[in-house]
Structure formats: C-alpha cells, structure tokens
Amino acid sequence: MDKYKGISEELESIGHNFEEQKKRTQSYLYDIYNYKNIIIQEIKESSEKLGKQYFSISDVAEKIDCSRTTIYQNVILKEYIESINTELEALNPYEQIQNLKEEISYLNKIIDKMKIRDTEILLLKKENKDLREQYTSNRNNMVSIDKD
C-alpha cells in the first residue's frame, strides 16, 4: 500500500478516497500520478539546465576539442565566446525574470518618491490656502490708519 501513499494523499486533498475507487479507476489514477511525476522531473531537469551557464569556455573547449589555454590566449576566440554568452543570457528566462524584478523594484522606488512628492504638494496647497484665508481675514479686520 506504500506504493499508493502519494496518490492517496493527493486525492484526499481534493476530497476523494483512493481506497473507495474501483480497481480500474485506481489503476488510471496511479498511471496519471506516475506520469505527473515524470513531467515534474523533466521540468526540474530543464530548469537546472537553463539555470546553468551552458556555454562556458570550458564547455566550448571540450566540445570543439581545443584547449582552454588556446581559447584564453586567443582574444578573438575568447571575445566571440563571451559575446555568445551574453546573447544566450538574454534568452535565458531566469535572466529575463531577474531583469524584470530589478526593473519593478526601480519603478516602485520611483512611485514611492512620486507619492511623497504628491503628498507634499497637497500639504503645501492646503497650507497656501489656509494662509490666504488668514491673510484675507486679517486684512478685513485691519483698522485703516489715517495719516494726519
């Protein structure tokens, strides 16, 4: 029964009991569960592959049967590999996500500054209005002094 423990727990979380199902349904559920696990493993492996730098000088040297020293000493080879690396990094979804996170953070900081600025402007407008009203009130209450 340990073989069905994972599927049993998952079915319980959605309100079903594995034991209460027909044998054929249990078999299908188990097959679906195994297929899901295969897909999850493939996704994890793909994510790991994407996350790694897969175009390093070492990798290239090994693939083209050339020493790393030769690549490091040949400026053109080294710069070409580095330019390809830059291009590949731009295509890497993890890199794109990181860039978007940084951009969001930067924009949120700007928004916070704008909120502070707008609040200060509103406070200044209120203070200006109050001072105008006070000035008008004081001006109306002033006694005119006649010069003799």
The tens digit of pLDDT for each residue in 41-98 reads 999 988 887 777 667 888 899 999 999 999 999 999 999 999 998 888 878 888 788 8
Same-domain status, 69 and 42: no
Pick the more confident residue, 110 or 93: 110
Buried b (16+ CB within 10 A) or exposed e, 44-58: eeeeeeeeeeebebe
146 within a domain of the structure (yes/no): no
The domain of 132 spans 94-136
Same-domain status, 110 and 130: yes
Same-domain status, 64 and 76: yes
Same-domain status, 1 and 41: yes
Is the pLDDT assigned to residue 148 strictly greater than 60?
Answer: no
**What is the average pLDDT across 25-31?**
93
Is the pLDDT assigned to residue 146 strictly greater than 70?
Answer: no
103 within a domain of the structure (yes/no): yes
Same-domain status, 117 and 83: no
Cα distances (Å, whole numbers) of residue 42 to 37, 38, 137, 146: 9, 6, 78, 96
Is the pLDDT assigned to residue 1 strictly greater than 60?
Answer: no
Same-domain status, 48 and 1: yes
33: Cβ–Cβ under 8 A, 6 or more apart, which residues?
6, 7, 10
Q: How many domains does the chain have?
A: 3
Q: What is the C-alpha separation between 24 and 6, in angstroms, rounded?
A: 18
143 within a domain of the structure (yes/no): no
Same-domain status, 58 and 42: no
